[in-house]
Amino acid sequence: MPTDTHPEQGRGSEDADRRWLGDALPDVALSKAQARVVDVIVRNPQLASYAEIAQIAERADVNSSTVVRAAQALGYRGWPDLQRELRARYLVQISTEDTLTEHGEHRSPLHDALTHDVENLRQTLESNSAAEARAAIDALAGARSILVVGVGSFAGPAGVMAHLGSTLGYPVTLENRAGVHLATAVNTVGPGDVLVVVNMWRSTKQVIAAAAAAREAGATVVAITDMRRGRLATSIADHLLIVPSEGISFFQSVTAATSVVYGLLAGMQEAQPERSRAAIRRTQQLWRDLDIYLD
């Protein structure tokens, strides 16, 4: 059962209590009962991030439906949606080493990793509507060019998107570095272009700044991220796809993000079927011409 630990414990101020939340809890009118739910969340980061809804209700001395209504009043679809946001922010506040303690020992690391990713995939399905996915696909299918950005572990799904998108005949490039490489890549995008950002867990300062610059230049920004609030989600992204990224050890999982990428690619293929088929045929011929694969 989660215990009440706090990244800012001992400072004793309300500002310190709220620091881990960032802009996750907007300043909106709440009933007294809903305000007690928020108070429990603010003062108990670990509990709020992992507890069942009944535990939150008990701490706040309310019923479970009040917890749901509080989440909805804050702009979320319900308690699971809010808790995903809380968990993502809590994991950012603790150290990478502390995540080892947070997850504890495993009965079977492989079994636990697979089980956890099944849950991440289920949550991803709940977090993104068909309409939201379709809007992102339409933007990608109609793009003049597509730049996909992801660094570190998140370069994995970014690389999959760039590689397979190019195979489908789309003008896709990948930038999985930072610094001057990222600046040069983003400097080429503008109106009619799409920037896809894969950024989860800790927000990468250079990636967020680059996305903001692309948006200012007139590009459309598609964000694959684990937070529904924050600068990337609320003021930069034109299309937002939410994916849980928590793993079972010190590292984050990119399984859900990669599955989202596969879905976007499938939609892009359906949107431009003739171009996609022609590009795939050319690719297959190049494989033969270059003698890439064993017979």
Long-range contact set of residues 72-81: C-beta below 8 Å, sequence gap at least 24: 73/28, 73/29, 73/30, 73/34, 74/25, 74/26, 74/28, 74/38, 75/26, 75/28, 76/228, 79/53, 80/123, 80/126, 81/126, 81/127, 81/228
**pLDDT average, residue stretch 61-87:** 91
Mean pLDDT of the region 229-238? 90
Confidence grade of residue 96 (pLDDT, cut at 50, 70, 90) = low
- pLDDT tens digits along 9-32: 444 445 555 677 877 888 899 999
pLDDT at res. 87: 85
In this predicted structure, the answer to whether residue 249 has a pLDDT above a threshold of 70 is yes
What confidence score (pLDDT) does residue 102 get? 63
In the predicted model, is pLDDT for residue 235 greater than 60?
Answer: yes
Tens of pLDDT, residues 31-73 = 999 999 999 999 888 888 888 999 999 999 999 999 999 999 9
Q: Are 160 and 286 in contact (CB under 8 A)?
A: no
Domains present along the chain, CATH in parentheses: 14-94 (1.10.10.10), 125-289 (3.40.50.10490)
Q: Where are the alpha helices (H) located in 44-73, listed in sequence order?
A: 45-50, 53-60, 64-73
Element spanning 295, H or E = none
Structure-model confidence comparison of residues 89 and 259, the more confident one? 259
Is the pLDDT at 293 greater than 70? The verdict is yes
Q: What is the model's pLDDT at position 13? A: 45
- Say yes or no to pLDDT of 144 above 90: yes
Residue 100 in this model has a pLDDT that exceeds 80? no
For position 8, what pLDDT does the model report? 42
Of 85 and 151, the structure prediction assigns the larger pLDDT to: 151
**In 10 A of CB 17, how many CB atoms?**
20
Predicted pLDDT of residue 132: 95
* Helix pair 179-186, 205-216: axis angle to 10 deg: 20
45, two tokens: 């980061």
149-164: average pLDDT: 96
Verdict on whether the full-model pTM lies above 0.85: no
User: Furthest-apart CA pair in the chain: how many Å?
Assistant: 71
Q: What is the pLDDT of residue 203?
A: 79
